[in-house]
Structure 1
Amino acid sequence: MILRPATRAELPAVLALLADEERVVDPATVQVTEAYERAFAAIETDPRNEMLVLVEEGLVLGCLQATYIPGLGKGGAERALVEAVRIRADRRGTGLGRRLMELAADRARARGCALVQLTSNKERAGAHRFYASLGYARSHEGFKLTL
């Protein structure tokens, strides 16, 4: 099992993971729109962004997007923002989410990041317990403005 940047060929599998957390979506049924193509190309060509996939024997089992943010805090070190964390519905509860997050933190650490941060919907109590079990602390209250 490896964590690596997604390829364009894996975009339907990533979109399938993002489409529904509760069931397995067949990547062949996912419509890859021009907007998805543009977004993937922007992520793929930006050195501060990665769409990462957890792959075993050619099957995409999980994904997340990591954005590396430069800043003056933490001694000028980058921080990693993790979003869109997903594990295939039929593989949840098997330790893959833990492995995905550990490998993502290892990548951030190797890059020189001083911390990894994420947000999680307030309704997702199970996800909050999961992140807490990995050592993530509820240190801030998040705010979003939909545009």
Structure 2
Amino acid sequence: MMRFRPANRKDTTGLAELILEVEQFYDNSTAVQPLAERRRQVAEALFGSPPMAHALVAEDEDGDLVGFAVYSFLWPAAGSSHSLFVKELFVRSALRRHGIGTRLMDILRALAAMRPGCTRVEWMTDRNNPGARSFYQSLGCTESDDKIVYRLDAGPEKG
């Protein structure tokens, strides 16, 4: 039986291991970050003061983490409301198509609905990820071409 719950400090190593799987899924060509460094970053991001994000985890009957959703609340959204932004949703490949991602998204939607002033759940996916796009469409979502994503490195200003 699958269990869904908020992440806690005891999940740090399991989340760090899943993040490596995320990187491998996206075929990230950067060097593999040492596990100790990933654990430190997970602990700081999710359990620091203040935390930078929140996470839900999916754990199997043996207590192993098999999926997660990382999210933050963003303000402003529409008007002066706020939104729940899903930064990452990931389920181990062997367990995809078993309802785990759907359940995580259902919980995220419920969390947003319970928070006063939260008007929506938002996320992004890569255009070249047909599996994710199909999954989100199966949830009844429609794709939006309204936004263009920009990125800047956090390093020193160039120029």
Quick check: TM above 0.5? yes
**Which residue, out of 106, 121, 134, partners 2:110?**
106
Determine if contact 2:56/2:104 at 8 Å carries over to the other structure.
Answer: no
Query: Cα deviation per residue 1:58-85 (whole Å; 9 max; x = unaligned)?
Result: 22121011110121x4342210110121
Give the corresponding residue for 1:32.
36
**Which residue, out of 76, 82, 97, partners 1:78?**
82
- Structure 1 counterpart of 2:43, one-letter code: F
> Separation in 1 of the partners of 2:100 and 2:41?
29
> Separation in 2 of the partners of 1:131 and 1:80?
16
Cα distance, 1:102 vs. partner? 0.8
> Separation in 2 of the partners of 1:92 and 1:38?
26
Q: Compare relative contact order (CA 8 Å, sep 6+) and give the higher one, 1 or 2.
A: 1
Determine if contact 1:48/1:68 at 8 Å carries over to the other structure.
Answer: no
- Structure 2 counterpart of 1:93, one-letter code: R
Give the corresponding residue for 2:120.
115
Query: Cα deviation per residue 1:81-115 (whole Å; 9 max; x = unaligned)?
Result: 10121112221111111111111111111113210
Determine if contact 1:74/1:114 at 8 Å carries over to the other structure.
Answer: yes
Give the corresponding residue for 1:43.
46
Cα distance, 1:13 vs. partner? 1.3
> Separation in 2 of the partners of 1:32 and 1:83?
22
- Structure 1 counterpart of 2:46, one-letter code: I
- What is the SS of the residue equivalent to 1:141? coil
- Structure 1 counterpart of 2:68, one-letter code: C
Give the corresponding residue for 1:127.
132
CA separation of 1:142/1:11 partners in 2, compared to 1, >3 Å: closer, same or farther? farther
Count of residue correspondences: 139
Q: Mind listing any 5+ residue stretches in structure 2 that lack a counterpart?
A: 26-33, 154-159
Cα distance, 1:38 vs. partner? 4.2
CA separation of 1:39/1:55 partners in 2, compared to 1, >3 Å: closer, same or farther? closer
Give the corresponding residue for 1:144.
150
- What is the SS of the residue equivalent to 1:20? helix
- What is the SS of the residue equivalent to 1:114? strand
Cα RMSD (Å) of the superposition? 2.4
- What is the SS of the residue equivalent to 1:76? coil
> Separation in 1 of the partners of 2:119 and 2:10?
32
Q: Percent identity?
A: 24
> Separation in 2 of the partners of 1:41 and 1:100?
23
1:68 pairs with 2:73: yes
Cα distance, 1:20 vs. partner? 2.1
Whose Rg is larger? Answer: 2
Q: Mind listing any 5+ residue stretches in structure 1 that lack a counterpart?
A: 24-29
